Amino acid sequence: MLYCQVKMNEEDKDLAVKIVEYNNNAPLIFKKIKQFLLRIIPYKIEVEHIGSTAVKGLGGKGIIDILIVTEREYMQKIVELLESSRYKYNPDASTISEKLFVSGPYWYKEKDLHIHIHITFFESKEHKDKLLFRDYLRGHPEEAKTYYELKKKWSLEAVPDRPKYTELKSSYIRKVLDIAREENQS
């Protein structure tokens, strides 16, 4: 099973997570995935590009992250639709009840990419936080650059403990969200 679209080679084996440069094709890949999702999901949804590939110049794991926002009652039905299209539901990917997570393959230009799909409901904290973080980094390229450099550093610090990488990243994200909320209130 693929964990990300970028395969680790021998010199990367000592990293907790391989961090790669921004892929300029990410917005186009997202657009194609969005069209696919809108075609197979018959419910009212919004499809947002989130994660590192949604911020120009921000390197990351190279995985396209998608946020599907819908009515709460459709969340599980969307998971079932995605499962019928070869995506895997991972109930342990989140401890919060307002987010469901699936991941799986997306065929793009003769490559089998691995994508992550987060599913939540309109106006949930998850919905607001994912977009607030993305939009803050888009509006503050210097912060996005700092985040990219930190991710590379954390990847080395966390070896071989991948959950430690996630913990370091999560702490940073919370701090940025606090700053973004404060800025939005001004």
Distance CA(130)–CA(101), nearest Å, equals 14
Strand partners, 113: 106
pLDDT, tens only, 5-21: 334 444 455 677 899 99
Locus of tokens 């990243």: 169
Residue 101 tokens, joined: 């997570």
- The strand pairing partners of 20, in sequence order, are 60
- 175/148 Cα distance (integer angstroms): 15
Q: Phi/psi at 113 (nearest 5 deg)? A: -85, 155
pLDDT at residue 83 in the model: 96
pLDDT, residue 112, reads 85
Question: Quick one: average pLDDT of 48-76?
Answer: 97
Within the chain, strands assigned E span 46-50, 64-70, 88-89, 100-108, 111-121
**What's this model's pTM, rounded to 2 decimal places?**
0.89
* Fold category of 17-185 in CATH: Beta Polymerase; domain 2 (3.30.460)
Bridge partners (DSSP) of residue 121 are 70
Mean pLDDT of all residues in 51-57: 97
Residue 88: CA atoms inside 13 Å, Cβ hemisphere, count?
11
- How high is the pLDDT of residue 95? 65
DSSP of 38-78: HHH--S--EEEEESGGGSTT--BS-PEEEEEEE-GGGHHHH
Task: Render pLDDT for 20-45 as a digit per residue (tens, 0 to 9).
Answer: 999 999 999 999 999 999 999 999 99
Q: Where are the domains of the chain?
A: 17-185
